[in-house]
């Protein structure tokens, strides 16, 4: 999931500090708050980001993947160039398994399902993405219903993107008629009381690049 880097953050209270979930000789994992960029955007007002914050404590930390600015949860950094190359290859070869939770509009009927829809950048409406069955890149998301709130007409889902396209989860859920609650980019007619995107990276599973042992990192959503 890549950063949208759409606009400057409005005048809101300061974002909470990064919480370090795991740190060792190869990598650092943090719990990124919603509203914080993963990497710097264009302009001095977008210099504050997860990688600059973590480099204040771990100067050798390098980016290996990103979360959208609006998405909270687990974000992984490599310690040094050698580890960056090793972990980046793991992401590219889909050896890192990513899991998310989201609250979506409407009551999702099937308890389990897959969304297999190719995605392409919607250049006239950047940074939006769109489903394009002719030119889009293959994109696959698995979902599982965790809870249906009939009163609020909303569903909590566990999500696993099998591919890593920009805004994949947001566009896939929109495409099946269940946009994520709080998604101002793809569902602008939002309930006014919702102030954030209800999407959180809850779990990362990978083989440790130094020990080859299985490593599972977890984070609970605040919503």
Q: Which two tokens stand for residue 46?
A: 């977008």
Return the beta strands (E) in 97-181 as ranges: 97-105, 112-116, 119-121, 129-131, 140-149, 154-161
Active centre residues (catalytic):
68
State residue 105's pLDDT score.
95
State residue 44's pLDDT score.
73
Q: Note whether residue 9 is domain-resident.
A: no
pTM recorded for the entire structure: 0.90
State residue 9's pLDDT score.
43
State residue 10's pLDDT score.
45
Q: Note whether residue 100 is domain-resident.
A: yes
Q: Note whether residue 5 is domain-resident.
A: no
State residue 17's pLDDT score.
81
Distance CA 1, CA 18 (A): 19
Could you tell me the CATH number of the domain that includes residue 47? 3.30.2350.10
State residue 47's pLDDT score.
83
Burial of 212 (0-12, 13-18, 19+ CB in 10 A): exposed
Tens of pLDDT along 105-162?
A: 999 999 999 999 999 999 998 899 999 999 999 999 999 999 999 999 999 999 999 9
Q: Note whether residue 78 is domain-resident.
A: yes
State residue 192's pLDDT score.
58
Q: Note whether residue 173 is domain-resident.
A: yes
Q: What H or E segment, with its residue span, contains residue 74? A: strand 72-79
Q: Which residue range forms the structural domain that includes residue 125?
A: 19-218
Residues in the chain: 223
State residue 12's pLDDT score.
52
Point out the residues of the chain with pLDDT beneath 50.
3-10
Residues 23 and 208: beta-carbon distance below 8 Å: no
Q: Note whether residue 160 is domain-resident.
A: yes
State residue 1's pLDDT score.
52
Domain count, the chain: 1
């Amino acid at each position: 999931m890549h950063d949208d880097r759409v606009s400057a953050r409005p005048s809101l209270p300061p974002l909470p500090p990064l919480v370090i979930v795991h740190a060792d000789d190869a990598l650092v994992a943090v719990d990124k708050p919603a509203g914080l960029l993963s990497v710097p955007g264009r302009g001095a007002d977008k210099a504050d980001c997860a990688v600059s914050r973590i480099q204040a404590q771990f100067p050798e930390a390098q980016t290996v993947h990103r979360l959208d600015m609006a998405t909270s949860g687990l974000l992984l950094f490599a310690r040094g160039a050698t580890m960056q190359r090793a972990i980046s290859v793991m992401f590219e070869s889909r050896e890192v398994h990513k899991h998310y939770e989201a609250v979506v509009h409407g009551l999702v009927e099937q308890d389990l399902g897959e969304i297999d829809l190719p995605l392409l950048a919607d250049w006239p409406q950047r940074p939006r993405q769109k489903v394009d069955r002719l030119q889009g890149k293959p994109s696959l998301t698995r979902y599982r219903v965790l809870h249906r709130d009939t009163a609020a007409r909303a569903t909590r889902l566990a999500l696993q993107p099998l591919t890593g396209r920009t805004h994949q989860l947001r566009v896939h859920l929109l495409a099946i008629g269940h946009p994520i609650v709080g998604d101002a980019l793809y569902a602008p007619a939002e309930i006014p009381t919702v102030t954030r995107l209800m999407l959180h990276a809850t779990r990362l599973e990978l083989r440790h690049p130094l020990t080859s042992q299985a490593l599972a990192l977890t984070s609970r959503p605040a919503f």
